Amino acid sequence: MEVIIRPTTDAAAGLVAALVAASVRENPRLVVGFATGRTMERVYALLVREHREHGLSFAGITTFNLDEYTGLPAGSTDTYRSYMHERFFRHIDINPANTHLPDGNAADLDAECAAYEERIAAAGGIDLQLLGIGAVGHIGFNEPLSALRSRTRVKALSPKTIEQNAGAFGGDPNKVPRRAITMGVGTILDSRRILLLATGTDKAEIIARAVEGPVTGMISASALQLHSRCTVIVDETAAVRLTEQEYYRWIFDNEPEWKAYQ
């Protein structure tokens, strides 16, 4: 794992967008895992700009989102399918047939989870996975005590996650679905490269625990320490609780891999 600290929220999101754009340019048939949430909104806005202003084409990529709520009414604008369509997919040249999210209204949710794993495998696995981190330290909806080897499954949301996500439901926690389909921690760890983006003071404590604390099922993001190619990108405010900041800053300033992004 490596940690990159950028001065502002915009610079941190900009670095993630630049890394995604470079990966798509290098491999136009990239298989990308996407996340939703407030943190990612800026990344999608920047990728849309890259498409419009610099002609970045997403026509050949295949995408798999991390998660989807279960049981929202058909056509609801609160689904993650709707989030991705509104903020990203409808603005770019992606082939809708190549965009995958779990179906939270499937008649047989367990069968849907198994089929989602099969679809990822059939696509050759995920080349690049984007992640945010929740207040409980989740990646996807892998709530506390998620097995570190878990696969795509239905998960009950923790009270803290329901509270965190209530904003998208008019601030009413009672409107937030209680369950979601999520890729498992094991599914996420199978990705070839992982980028986790965390910004803002609210994320400082959980980022420090996930990155510098012990690997524990209580904080599913801590399992990323087991991944051989995971980059955690934070802004200054999310970095304040990290103890090895000096080292992380040295890496970005000196390692050849980061020269192109300075």
Per CB under 6 A, residues contacting ligand F6R are 35-39, 66-67, 132-134, 138-140
Q: Which is nearer to ligand F6R, 51 or 81 (CB)?
A: 81
Shortest Cβ 139–ligand F6R spacing (Å)? 6
CB 70 within 8 A of CB 105: yes
CB of 216 to ligand F6R, least distance (A): 17
Nearer to ligand F6R by Cβ, of 37 and 104: the residue is 37
Q: How near is the Cβ of 118 to ligand F6R at its closest, in Å?
A: 21
Residue nearest to ligand F6R (CB): 132
For residues 132 and 138, what is the distance between their CA atoms, to the nearest angstrom? Answer: 8
Helix (H) or strand (E) holding 153: strand 153-156
3-state secondary structure (DSSP) of residue 183: coil
CA angle (57, 60, 61) in 5-degree steps: 95
| Distance in Å, CB of 192 to ligand F6R, minimum | 19
Residue 246 dihedral angles phi and psi, to the nearest 5°: -60, -45
Return the SS3 of 130: strand
CB of 157 to ligand F6R, least distance (A): 10
Of 190, 192, 202, 224, which is closest to residue 3 (Cα–Cα)? 224
* Residue 57 or 201 having the CB closest to ligand F6R: 201
Looking at the Cβ atoms of 87 and 249, the one nearer to ligand F6R is: 87
* Min dist. Cβ of residue 155 to ligand F6R (A): 11
Judge whether 100 and 64 are in contact, CB under 8 Å.
yes
Q: Which residue lies nearer to ligand F6R by CB, 33 or 242?
A: 33
∠163-173-36 over CA atoms, to 5°?
60
CB nearer ligand F6R, residue 133 or residue 176: 133
